[in-house]
Chains A and B, each alone.
Chain A
Amino acid sequence: MKAMLRALVRNKPADYLEVRLEETHLTHIQFMGPALQNLAESVAFGGNVRALVKGGWGFVSFNRLEDLDRQVDLAIAQARQVAAAIESGATLAPVDPIEDTVPLPPGVDPGALSLQAKKDLLESYNAAILAFGPPVVSSQIRYRDIHSRILYANSDGTCLEQERLDVAANLVAVARRNGLTQIGFFGMGGKAGYGVLQDRADEVTQICETARDSLAAPVVRGGEYTVILDPRLAGVFAHEAFGHLSEADNVYENPRLGEIMTLGRRFGEPLLNIYDSGREEGLQGYLKYDDEGVPTRKTYLIRDGLLVGRLHSRETAGRMGEPVTGSARALDYRFPPIPRMRTTAIEAGDASFDEMLEGVELGVYAKGAYGGQTAGEMFTFTATEGFMIRGGRLAERVRDVTLTGNVFATLKNIDRTGRDYTVEGSAGGCGKGEQNPLPCSSGSPHIRIQKVIVGGKGS
């Protein structure tokens, strides 16, 4: 098969050509309350061809391997059509060709748990949520694992065979009283097998308590606050607030953003260090090679408060004359690779939690993450739990805490980074354009940020 792919991309009338074939075995398990909503094992099989001709891209994806030559011709014809409409276009950063086979990490066995055993484990968590008792009235569990074998070859001589296993689940507890519904949420995920699912009884209890206690909590009052984020929410903050803006496809053809995002520019206090890495084994963001066959790196985005790097595809690196980072990722064979995050993290600092609380007369402690979103310089992220901080101490619980910020202002307002550090994943993943959800991880210590806008209609 590899030889066939190599031959397919060789000596074709294109400046660059790549082909990817993929077979993925997926498991989906979903509980909605006591009912098992879905139990399924499925197969996704397909491939794509991507061609670059005189700066224009053509891309074809398919499920059938017959007529691969015809798919190559179509991708090239499309690329030509683009080239005819533009004066200049993509050039790729040069990389050394690589031939490699990447098996699953030692000890990771996709067959280690049968479908029934996976279901039994999740059912035990589901039963524990439902057994918590009133006001917890319902549950939701979504589990999926994705086991892929990917063959990849390009016209620069790279040829890779890779195997990946991504395992993830989200647990939700739903509490209801007097017409009000509140939920507790926890996500988990990893690339080191099924161990990430084990021993989550504490988290199950925690989400039930959060859902229960939030029912009695008032809605947070909107306004500008000093906030402390727990590591989970701070990880999502790093992802939304800075990770997306660091994806170089935002900036590579955007000279004005390029001026703002000049390497060496100060974005935060010297205590701030943010990186994105494909090399952290076991995490959902781990991958040895990206989907252009480029070895992944640990890429500092902010070091000592200064902008030092960004996340590149070969196209964005080529245009900007910067080193490749191995950040070009595709959700699967149906999509072309684009710059994406892998494991995005704020590095631990030296503050204790008590030191963070010090001096905060009125603030919000926000914990856990439902999710977030970014557009340009603005971002939002939503906590699963919130507490007021009054007079330097944690005070009453509040609910419905959504935070928003502006990347240029908010990063500079991070004035404490904690000495703890947690990294996690989830079954949610990251969305960009139509490619959603891509497995990513985010990590952080507790952090404190001044002047964050918290939404809320409470008074």
Chain B
Amino acid sequence: MSSPVLSVSDLSVEFWVDGVWYPAANHINCEVEAGQTLAIVGESGSGKSTVAMAIMSLLASNARVTGSVKVKGEEVLGAPIQKLQKYRGKEVSYIFQEPMTALNPVYTIGFQIMETLRNHFDMGPSEAKARAIELISLVEIPDPERSVDKYPHQLSGGQRQRAMIAQALACDPALLIADEPTTALDVTVQAEILDLMRGLRSRLNSGILLITHDMGVVADMADEIMVMQSGNMVEHGTADQIFNRPNHPYTQQLLASVPKLGSTTMRVLDASQAAAKPVLKLSNVTIEYPKRGRIPAFVAVEDFSLEIFPGEIVGLVGESGSGKTTVGRASIGLLPIKSGRLEVVGQDISGATNKELRQIRRNTGIVFQDPASSLNPRLPIGESIGEPLYLAGIAKDKELDKMVEDLLASVELPRSYRNRYPHELSGGQRQRVGIARALALTPDILIADEPTSALDVSVQARFLELLQDLQSKLKFACLFISHDLGVVDILSHRIAVMQNGRLVEVGNRDQILKNPQDPYTQRLLSAVPVPDPAEQKIRREARLASK
């Protein structure tokens, strides 16, 4: 047996914050062999990335690291900076989560790959360029000779991630650390990137340390899995052990909170509700982003028709750029529609004046995707929640205080949180504040724009429960926009699928998930990774065969 490329023993990381050492990772032990994939799984804040950064010695200066990290038998911790510079990029390389921010926007991808190469090898520019082109074709970016001179913004999200991988592979590293490599990508692109990484692993025989929160991705890639919770390693075993015989309660809970397609009972709307007048009715709606300077007008949504009945939850799925969010924002009058007819609670919104719009908005609510951005950072949350009530003239002073308290209680937040600022809350709590604000005026229809995409799976599970509870209590209709079919599956009465601004398919859950008619829906479904290694293998092979 060969010696491991990476062996971490008794690694602990602490951060000095506000006068206290906060432990971020405690006594981590793990090994990665050549050609193997170790996945570190855990929720945000569990210390996954901290471990990876410690391996690269890239931690902030307020960190204290103890233990030992050996790469190919050599100690890395405490090594002098010259040695580290030689080893970073050459022996160990890093694939970042967000390729748009990790690639320098003012240099071509070819330049950035060549830079890595020429830092580590005695290479001339033309030689380096030839190697860069070779790498770019290795990661299957089309037309490598021309792509090498492209800037990051000229590539699509998936291609950018491929360019990052090409850069990481430039020096044939023994170990590749991939920190959430597919989180920012759509499922279909994610499947392609994972296929690519799997192919490269067998070709280059390097070890991969995969960091992710997505159990589906883990099932697809990992040989071994390490589960982390608040800085501690709670379970470590082979993929088969972890998925099929999890020992630790946290692992079990984590696996249970992953939404699985088709696992819940189908929700059906009462006949009386379905017969009522729709609360939201879009007929042949086209939405266009107008021409700006030299940038031509862009049709984001075309000929879109959908009806939502009282008390119904309709899930709207599609990839990024498919126009889901545009539909959501237009539905509450944040975007003008170009043609067609959009009715909210029986009122036509397309030609409404500001005053009428304000009236219509009293009956609608919206939960935004990013709770960090949708709450005013300078307003205490109590005031954010109370604002719709105050502006609608429903309540003031003491009365308003009381209503804000009730709203906080209804989303299970302590009343004393009302004077806190958004940054003092966790992501899940912030999103609950978002819901409380959206429901303040007891709307007839709630637009939820990817409300769970910024949340961890277990937080997401609780959030979805809360949303279901509130919905059954308050009986509002809901347009639930998401890219995650699993989440939509749990919540929705009906599912609508969008592609490139068009509605491709709409139907109840069984129609869409079990018997999809449209080829795009079929492709979307087959790309969703399933948190079960054996099944995922079958699905993967089926997908590759159908190509």
Are chains A and B native binding partners rather than an unrelated pairing? Answer: no
B residues with a Cβ closer than 8 A to A are none
